[in-house]
C-alpha cells in the first residue's frame, strides 16, 4: 500500500442544492479553509441520491463519499431527506457488512447557514479517509493514481 | 493400433506427475461451497484431488472460449493475439464434452473466418477422453447418436471400470509416458465396453424428433408458450452448455485505458436482441426459449451438416433452477410434428 | 412421500379441480414433477383433468409468486407456501397485483423445505393472506433467530470472504430471476446508459453487482432463500440481503410481507428515525 502520509484521497461529495451546497458556498465566500480533496456534485435533494451512485463511485475509484442534505425537517421538498435517511442507513450497514470501512461512507446534514460546520465536516471526512488509506477497489487491485496525487497534490 | 495400458487408481498420480512436466493439467476436482458439492474442471497440482466418478458440473468449454476474454486495448492500436503459453492437458473429458468441442470447431474455424483465439487454444490443448461406464444424472447422448464410449479425435482414451483405469494410447508421441505400466487385455476391455453399452441401452430414451427441426412449422408451433411457461429467464442453461458459444463485445474503460472484451452472452436474456431503438424482436421469454432450442436443433444442423448443437450432456436440465427439461421439450416438439401432416417426409 | 404431504397434495388436487371446473380461476400455478427427472418443477394447470399433476412436498423450493406477474388481468390460483403469501403481500403493498385477481391456496403449518437454510430462520409458518387453507394452522408462534454466520469475522475477513464468494459468480442472473422482488422492467445490470456495472465478468464488477442487488432488496427481501437455491455456483449471496433484513428488523422494527396495507421500508419514514452512524 502506498504511503499514507502522501495520500491525497478522492472524495465524492453529493450536496443538496438547497442547504449543503449553499453551506459550501458560504464556507467559500467566507474564506474558510477546508481540504481541497472533495469533488462536489450538486443534486436537487438528498432524496434524489440513488445508493447505486455511491456504490458506483467506489467501483470507479473514489476513496470515499460524503452525502449531505438539509437537516431533517428542513427539506425544501418537505420530506426528501427523511426517505434518504433510511436508505443511507441501510447502505452504510450493507457496505460495512460487506467489508468496506465505514470511514469511507459518510452521511451528514448541513444547513445553508452552517458554512463553518461544512468546513469542519470536510476536515473530518478527509482525516477519516486518510486514516484508512487508499481504496484498492472491490478486487483489491488498486486504481492507477497520478503521481502528483500520491506526492501530495500540486 | 492403439497401445492398451491398465493402471491401478493409485498409480494415476505417478502418471500425471510425469505428464505435468510437459503439460498444464486440467482435471475434474471436487469443490465444496457451503452445502453444495460440485465437480469442476480446475488446474490441479495435487493429483489425489481428481474425481472421475461423475460428470463434472461445468463443461470444459471455458478453456477454449473463456467467459471473459480481453481481445486488445484501444491505446496500442494493434490487436494482441494470445499465443498459447503452455500446452494444456484436459484430463477425463467425457464423450458429450468431446463432441461439444467438435460442434464448436466448424463455428470458429470457418474457411472464411478463423477465430485465432479459439484456434490457438485448440492447438495448444490435448484432451484425454473418458468413457462413461454408467449413465449420468440427466444425460441422453445415445439418443442423439453420440457414443458414450466414443473415442474418436483424442490421443488417449480412458475407461474407468471401478477399480482400474484403462488407457487406450493412440498417439505415438504419448506412449513414452505409459511404458512403465502393464498392458491390458483388449478382449477383457471389449467385454466391459459391451456390457456398459448394454446398460446404456436399458435406460435409453427415444428422441424421434427430426433433425434439423423443420424451420417454419416448428417456429410457428403453439407449444413454445407451454414449455417455456415456467422459464425464469436466467442464463444458467446457456452458460453451463458445452456448445453454446454466443458472445458479445464490449469496450470498457478502466482508469486510463480502454479494453476490448469478448464476453459470453445468452439468448435467454432480453438484452441479447434488444435494439438501440428500444425495440426487442424477442420480447417474451417463450420466444427466447424457442430461439435456444431452434438454434440447437434447427438452424445449427441446417448450417453444419445436420449436426445438432447439443451434445446431450444434460447440464441444462440439472442446473436449471426450475428444472426445465430439454427432453420434455423435444418430446413435445416430436408429438406436435407427428400430428402435422407431411412434415416428416418433406423434412 | 410422507403421509402428511400426500394428504396435502390430495387436498390441493381436489380443490383445484373444483376451482377450475367451476370457473372460479383460469389457471392454477402449482408444483408438479418432471417426466424424466422426477424433480419438482412449476406447472400451470388450466384443465381440471390435469389437476392430479399438482402436488406438494418439502422439495418444492421455488417461489411461485413471481409467475403471478405474467398473468395480470385474469384470475389465477396459486399454491402458496407461507413465504409465497409473504411475497404476494409485498406485491399487494406495492400494488403490483390486484387482490381480486389472485386466489391463494395457502398451505398451513409449513415445516420448512429440504436443503433450504432460510427455512430455519423463518417464523412465519402459516399463510399471511389466504383464500383457502390446506391443513390445520400452526398454533404456537416461533421467532427463530436470524443467524449471522459471519459474525465472528473481522471486517477485513468479511471483505475477503465476499471477494472470494463473488469471484465465482458467472453473472447468469439466476439469483435475480428466481427472486420475487426483482420485478424491474429493466434491470440495472442490463442497463448500459448509465452503465452501473461492467458487462465483463471480473471481481470488481461482480462485487458491485451483488452490492447493488442487495441494496435493491433492502426492505423487500423476505429472506426466503430462493436466490441461494437458484445459484448454480453455490454463492452465499443471501448473507448480504439477510443482514439488511436483520437491520431493518432491529432498527425499524420492519419486516416485509406481513401486512398488505403497510408501506415498504423505503416508501415511508418516521420523524424520529435512527441516525446511527451519521456524522453529527
**CA closest to B252 among chain C residues:** C198
C170 neighbourhood in chain B, CB within 8 Å: 67, 239
Question: What mean pLDDT is reported for chain A?
Answer: 89
In chain B, the percentage of residues whose pLDDT exceeds 70 is 93
CB contact under 8 A, A61 and B255: yes
Please tell me if residue B75 touches chain A, with a CB cutoff of 8 Å: no
B51 touches chain C (CB under 8 A): no
DSSP annotation of A15 reads E
Q: Is the pLDDT of residue B119 over 50?
A: yes
| pLDDT (mean) for A123-141 | 91
Both B318 and B232 in one domain: the answer is yes
A140 to chain C nearest CA, in Å?
8
Strand order in the sheet with A11-16: A38-43, A11-16, A64-69, A105-109
Contact by Cβ (8 Å): C181, C90: yes
Q: Are residues B10 and B135 in the same domain?
A: yes
Same domain, B160 and B51: yes
Q: Do B39 and B77 fall within a single domain? A: yes
Taking CA atoms, what residue in B is nearest to A142? B255
User: How confident is residue A151, by pLDDT bands cut at 50, 70 and 90?
Assistant: very low
Closest Cα to residue C217, out of A56, B321, A94, A138? A94
Residues B40 and B90 grouped into a single domain: yes
Nearest Cα neighbor of C84 from C52, C35, C33, C119 is C119
Claim to verify: residue B40 and residue B130 sit in the same structural domain = yes
Its pTM surpasses 0.90:
yes
Query: Band of the pLDDT at B76, cuts 50, 70, 90?
Result: very low
- Nearest-Cα distance to chain C for B326, in Å, is 10
Say yes or no: B317 contacts chain C, CB-CB below 8 A. yes
Query: Is A120 buried (19+), middle (13-18) or exposed (0-12) by CB count in 10 A?
Result: middle
Residues B198 and B230 in one domain: no
Separation CA C181–CA C65 (nearest Å)? 10
Domain that holds residue B234: 215-338
Q: Which of B202, B228, B245 is the last residue of a domain?
A: B202
Which CATH architecture group holds A11-151? 3-Layer(aba) Sandwich (3.40)
Question: Is there a contact between C34 and B323 if contact means CB atoms under 8 Å apart?
Answer: yes
Residues of chain C with C-beta less than 8 angstroms from the C-beta of A138 = 163, 203-204, 206-208
Residue B207 lies in a domain: no
For residues C36 and B328, the answer to whether their CB atoms sit within 8 Å is yes
Residue in C closest to B278 by C-alpha = C186
B232–C230 CB contact, under 8 Å: yes
In-domain check, residue B167 = yes
Scanning B196-225 for CB atoms below 8 A from C yields: 205
Average pLDDT, chain B: 87
Give the Cα separation of A38 and A23 in Å (integer). 14
Cross-chain Cβ contact A98/C159 below 8 Å: yes
Look up residue B89 and give its three cell numbers.
492437458
- Would you state the pLDDT for residue A147? 53
Which pLDDT score is estimated for B258? 80
| Partners of chain B (3+ Cβ pairs below 8 A) | A, C
Task: Give residue-wise pLDDT tens across range B137-176.
Answer: 889 999 998 999 987 789 999 999 888 899 999 998 898 8
Over pLDDT 90: what percentage of chain A?
81
**Domain segments of chain A as ranges:** 11-151
DSSP code of B295?
A: I
pLDDT category, C29, cuts 50, 70, 90? very high
Residues in chain C whose beta carbon is closer than 8 A to a beta carbon of chain B?
Answer: 34-37, 39-44, 62, 66-67, 115, 117, 168, 170-174, 176-178, 190, 198-202, 229-230, 232-236
Confirm whether B208 is domain-assigned: no
For C193, name the nearest residue in chain B, comparing CA atoms only. B276
Claim to verify: residue B250 and residue B142 sit in the same structural domain: no
Closest CA of chain C from A27, distance in Å: 18
pLDDT bucket at B347, cuts 50 / 70 / 90 = very low
Q: Say if CB C201 and CB B247 are below 8 A apart.
A: no
Q: Which residues of A touch B256 (CB under 8 A)?
A: 144
Task: Tell which of B147, B181, B202 closes a domain.
Answer: B202
H/E segment holding residue A149? helix A147-150
Per residue in C209-259, pLDDT tens?
A: 999 999 999 999 999 999 999 999 999 999 999 999 999 999 999 999 999
Chain A residue closest in CA terms to B252: A60
In a domain, B347, yes or no: no
Residue A153 has pLDDT above 50, yes or no: no
Cα atoms in the 13 Å half-sphere on the side-chain side of B303:
13
Distance, in Å, from the CA atom of C231 to the CA atom of C206, rounded to the nearest integer, reads 14
User: Residues B245, B321: one domain?
Assistant: yes
Instruction: Classify residue B25: in a domain, yes or no.
Output: yes
What does pLDDT average to over chain C?
Answer: 91
Are residues B193 and B290 located together in one domain of the fold? no
**Secondary structure string (H, E, C) spanning chain C:** CCHHHHHHHHHHHHHHHHHHHCCCCCEEEEEEECCCCCCEEEEEECCHHHHHHCECCCCCCCCCHHHHHHHCCCCEEEEECHHHHHHHHHHHHCCCCCHHHEEEEEECCCCCCCCCHHHHHCCCCCCCCCCEEECCCCCCCCCCCCCCCCCCCCHHHHHHHHHHHHHCCCCCCHHHHHCCCCCCCCCCCCCCCCCCCCCCCCHHHHHHHHHHHHHHHCCCCCCCCHHHHHCCCCCCCHHHHHHHHHHHHHHHCCCCCCCCCCCCHHHCCCCCCCCCCCCC
B344 inside domain: no
A47-51 contacts, C-beta under 8 A, 24 or more apart = A47/A75, A47/A77, A47/A79, A47/A80, A47/A81, A47/A82, A47/A83, A47/A84, A48/A80, A49/A14, A49/A84, A49/A87, A51/A87, A51/A88, A51/A90, A51/A91, A51/C215
Residue B19 to residue A144: CA distance in whole angstroms: 41
Q: Does B159 share its domain with B265? A: no
Rg, Å, chain A Cα set: 15
The answer to whether ipTM exceeds 0.85 is yes
Minimal Cα–Cα distance from B253 to chain A, Å? 10
Name the domain boundary from B172, B202, B232: B202
Amino acid at each position: 500500500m502506498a504511503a499514507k502520509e502522501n495520500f491525497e484521497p478522492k472524495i465524492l461529495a453529493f450536496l443538496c442544492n438547497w442547504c449543503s451546497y449553499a453551506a459550501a458556498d458560504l464556507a467559500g465566500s467566507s474564506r474558510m479553509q477546508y481540504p481541497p480533496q472533495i469533488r462536489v456534485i450538486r443534486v436537487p435533494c438528498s432524496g434524489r441520491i440513488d445508493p447505486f451512485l455511491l456504490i458506483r463511485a467506489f467501483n470507479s475509484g473514489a476513496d470515499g463519499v460524503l452525502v449531505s442534505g438539509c437537516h431533517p425537517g428542513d427539506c425544501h421538498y418537505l420530506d426528501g431527506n427523511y426517505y434518504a435517511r433510511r436508505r443511507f442507513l441501510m447502505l452504510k450497514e450493507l457496505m460495512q457488512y460487506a467489508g468496506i470501512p465505514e470511514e469511507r461512507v459518510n452521511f451528514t446534514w448541513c444547513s445553508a447557514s452552517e458554512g463553518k460546520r461544512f468546513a469542519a465536516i470536510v476536515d473530518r471526512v478527509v482525516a477519516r479517509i486518510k486514516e484508512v488509506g487508499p481504496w484498492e477497489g472491490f478486487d483489491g487491485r488498486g486504481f492507477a493514481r497520478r503521481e502528483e496525487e500520491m506526492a501530495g497534490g500540486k | 493400433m492403439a497401445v492398451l495400458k491398465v493402471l491401478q487408481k493409485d498409480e494415476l498420480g505417478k502418471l500425471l506427475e510425469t505428464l505435468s512436466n510437459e503439460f498444464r493439467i486440467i482435471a475434474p476436482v471436487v469443490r465444496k461451497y457451503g452445502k453444495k458439492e460440485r465437480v469442476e474442471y480446475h488446474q490441479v497440482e495435487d493429483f489425489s484431488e481428481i474425481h472421475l466418478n461423475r460428470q463434472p458440473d461445468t463443461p470444459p468449454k471455458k478453456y477454449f472460449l473463456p467467459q471473459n476474454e480481453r481481445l486488445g486495448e484501444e491505446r496500442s492500436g494493434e490487436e494482441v493475439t494470445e499465443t498459447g503459453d503452455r500446452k494444456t492437458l484436459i484430463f477425463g473429458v467425457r464423450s458429450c464434452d468431446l463432441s461439444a468441442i467438435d460442434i464448436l470447431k466448424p463455428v470458429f474455424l470457418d474457411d472464411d473466418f478463423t477465430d485465432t483465439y479459439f484456434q490457438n487454444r485448440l492447438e495448444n490443448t490435448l484432451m484425454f477422453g473418458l468413457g462413461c461406464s454408467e449413465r449420468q444424472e440427466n444425460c441422453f447422448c445415445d439418443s442423439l447418436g453420440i457414443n458414450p464410449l466414443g473415442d474418436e479425435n483424442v490421443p488417449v482414451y480412458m475407461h474407468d471400470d471401478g477399480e482400474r483405469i484403462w488407457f487406450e494410447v493412440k498417439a505415438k508421441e504419448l506412449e513414452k509416458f505409459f511404458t512403465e505400466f502393464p498392458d491390458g487385455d483388449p478382449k477383457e476391455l471389449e467385454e466391459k465396453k459391451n456390457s456398459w453399452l448394454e446398460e446404456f441401452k436399458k435406460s435409453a430414451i427415444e428422441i424421434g424428433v427430426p433433425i434439423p427441426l423443420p424451420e417454419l412449422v416448428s417456429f410457428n408451433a403453439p407449444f413454445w408458450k407451454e414449455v417455456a411457461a415456467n422459464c425464469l429467464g436466467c442464463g444458467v442453461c446457456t452458460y453451463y452448455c458445452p456448445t453454446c458459444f454466443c458472445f458479445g463485445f464490449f469496450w470498457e474503460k478502466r482508469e486510463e485505458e480502454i479494453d476490448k472484451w469478448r464476453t459470453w452472452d445468452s439468448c435467454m436474456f432480453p438484452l441479447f436482441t434488444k435494439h438501440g431503438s428500444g425495440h426487442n424482436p424477442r420480447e417474451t421469454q417463450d420466444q427466447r426459449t424457442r430461439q435456444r432450442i431452434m438454434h440447437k436443433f434447427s438452424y445449427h444442423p441446417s448450417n453444419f451438416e445436420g449436426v445438432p448443437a447439443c451434445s446431450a450432456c444434460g447440464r441444462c436440465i440439472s442446473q436449471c433452477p426450475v428444472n426445465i427439461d430439454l427432453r420434455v421439450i423435444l418430446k413435445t416438439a416430436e408429438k406436435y410434428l407427428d400430428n402435422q401432416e407431411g412434415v416428416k417426409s418433406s423434412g | 412421500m410422507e403421509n402428511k404431504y400426500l394428504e396435502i397434495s390430495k387436498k390441493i388436487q381436489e380443490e383445484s379441480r373444483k376451482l377450475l371446473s367451476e370457473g372460479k380461476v383460469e389457471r392454477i400455478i402449482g408444483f408438479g414433477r418432471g417426466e424424466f427427472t422426477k424433480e419438482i418443477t412449476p406447472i400451470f394447470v388450466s384443465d381440471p383433468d390435469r389437476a392430479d399433476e399438482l402436488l406438494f412436498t418439502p422439495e418444492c423450493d421455488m417461489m411461485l409468486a413471481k409467475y403471478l406477474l405474467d398473468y395480470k388481468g385474469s384470475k389465477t390460483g396459486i399454491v402458496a407456501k407461507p413465504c409465497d403469501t409473504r411475497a404476494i403481500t409485498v406485491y399487494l403493498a406495492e400494488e403490483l397485483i390486484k387482490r381480486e385477481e389472485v386466489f391463494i391456496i395457502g398451505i398451513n403449518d409449513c415445516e420448512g423445505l429440504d436443503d433450504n437454510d432460510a427455512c430455519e430462520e423463518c417464523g412465519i409458518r402459516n399463510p399471511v393472506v389466504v383464500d383457502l387453507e390446506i391443513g390445520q394452522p400452526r398454533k404456537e408462534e416461533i421467532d427463530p433467530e436470524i443467524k449471522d454466520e459471519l459474525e465472528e469475522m473481522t471486517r477485513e475477513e468479511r471483505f475477503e470472504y465476499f471477494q472470494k464468494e463473488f469471484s465465482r459468480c458467472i453473472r447468469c442472473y439466476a439469483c435475480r430471476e428466481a427472486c420475487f422482488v426483482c420485478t424491474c422492467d429493466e434491470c440495472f445490470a442490463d442497463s448500459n446508459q448509465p452503465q452501473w456495472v461492467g458487462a465483463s465478468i471480473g471481481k470488481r464488477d461482480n462485487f458491485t453487482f451483488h452490492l447493488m442487488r442487495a441494496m435493491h432488496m433492502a426492505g423487500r427481501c423476505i429472506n426466503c432463500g430462493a436466490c441461494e437455491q437458484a445459484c448454480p455456483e453455490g454463492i452465499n449471496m443471501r448473507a448480504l440481503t439477510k443482514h439488511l433484513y436483520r437491520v431493518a428488523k432491529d432498527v425499524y422494527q420492519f419486516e416485509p410481507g406481513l401486512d398488505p396495507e403497510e408501506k415498504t421500508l423505503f416508501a415511508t419514514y418516521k420523524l424520529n428515525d435512527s441516525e446511527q452512524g451519521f456524522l453529527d
